[in-house]
Structure 1
């Protein structure tokens, strides 16, 4: 993550949040639309869900390890807020575990009943996640900009980036760019070294479009 005027550039976290919001919110309808017994389609959606949930897990573990302790120490007046964030993480983690189990069952069977069970848990996850991400953006990120250092914020970003398999990083970049605002896209692209920008244009954009089409049945509209 980058910084502005020696402060963390927290807008990059908002971009990541938008990716989770957008694609997890789309999954209940995608799952319930799978024809009964279509294990191939169920496996595609369950695989994408697993990637999103794994990314969300690492995103939250990074905050647990590298953000909440700093905020609790340096902004003791906001300790109740930090505790609320940690409690939300715990509730979300339980729902994530349920989605992993139900996603695996749905991939194995392709049954509409298993898809309905998964969709219901996903809806609960989306409700809890919407509350948490909104609280974090409205209340936590302003504190981060005041009390966390540039290096601490960068370490949090580096941890998240390292959790993405190398062969999927350009694809996930595409998903972030696609759900970002034009200003956020400019911000993301300015952080990439020139070779990475070239690879994105030559290879990454195409790979992202293929991955998007596999999930949504049509190419991304920019």
Structure 2
């Protein structure tokens, strides 16, 4: 290990809070779509698809950039943690596959029976995800703070956002920053390239408010707490 700065993992807590909140609220959104209301089904489905895509890439970037480094540097301390992380990621990815398949069918039909099945699948995904995130925060993040450099962390974060279109970046940051401590948000924005930070800082809250109004019917959806 070098004397390089180590990872600041506060942005991980922001992402985790976003996943817990948005996936937790999704079953009620799905059940609330009226029979045959394709327009509303599309709004809800696109929102769920956005969040589950980010979750998939978030986990894939952890798998690619973090676990092998923890095994190399933390040895026996990391082995049981990495094993659990990989097993949980695999289980969550299988559930995401089920959700995507059901989501596409429901989006095209707005059929209540298909919606009920989809909502149940999302509920199961949420339960498994909440369990996983708690273990990651308790067991993996402390190891990451000791053994992963800030540069390596930045590579992981960039990989997780690689498939997010530039025009969606303010919304994604707004989704994560909604419940965050303002000081943490300022620190994260300050760490970004100036041209990126300026855009995100100005537009994120506006993008989130507009999106939340369209999806949740309010610019201030229910908060769950937990972001640092």
| TM-score, length of structure 2 as denominator length | 0.89
1:214 — aligned with what? Answer: 214
1:144 — aligned with what? Answer: 144
Deviation at 1:43, TM superposition (A): 1.1
Deviation digits for residues 108-135 of structure 1 (CA, Å, limit 9, x no counterpart): 1101111110110101101110111111
Deviation digits for residues 123-182 of structure 1 (CA, Å, limit 9, x no counterpart): 110111011111111110110111112221111111123221111001111111112233
1:9 — aligned with what? Answer: 8
Asked if the contact 1:170/1:204 (under 8 Å) is kept, the reply is: yes
2:226 — aligned with what? Answer: none
User: How far apart in 1 are the matches of 2:105 and 2:202?
Assistant: 37
1:168 — aligned with what? Answer: 168
Deviation at 1:198, TM superposition (A): 4.1
> Tell me, which stretches of 5 or more residues in structure 2 are unaligned?
224-228
Rate the CA distance shift 1:213–1:127 in 2: closer, same or farther, 3 A. Answer: same
Deviation at 1:210, TM superposition (A): 1.8
User: How far apart in 2 are the matches of 1:189 and 1:203?
Assistant: 12
Asked if the contact 2:57/2:160 (under 8 Å) is kept, the reply is: yes
User: How far apart in 2 are the matches of 1:204 and 1:13?
Assistant: 17
Asked if the contact 2:41/2:106 (under 8 Å) is kept, the reply is: yes
Rate the CA distance shift 1:157–1:198 in 2: closer, same or farther, 3 A. Answer: closer
> Tell me, which stretches of 5 or more residues in structure 1 are unaligned?
none
Asked if the contact 1:59/1:160 (under 8 Å) is kept, the reply is: yes
DSSP-derived class of the 2:100 partner: helix
RMSD: 1.9
1:107 and 2:103 aligned = no
After the TM superposition, which residues 124-143 of structure 1 pair with which residues of structure 2 at under 5 Å, given as runs? 124-143=124-143
Deviation at 1:204, TM superposition (A): 4.3
Asked if the contact 1:43/1:106 (under 8 Å) is kept, the reply is: no
1:191 and 2:191 aligned = yes
Deviation at 1:183, TM superposition (A): 3.4
Deviation at 1:202, TM superposition (A): 5.1
User: How far apart in 1 are the matches of 2:49 and 2:37?
Assistant: 18
2:36 — aligned with what? Answer: 37
Deviation digits for residues 55-108 of structure 1 (CA, Å, limit 9, x no counterpart): 011111111111111112222212121111100001000000011011111101
User: How far apart in 1 are the matches of 2:165 and 2:26?
Assistant: 22
**In proportion to residue count, which structure has more helix?**
1
DSSP-derived class of the 1:179 partner: coil
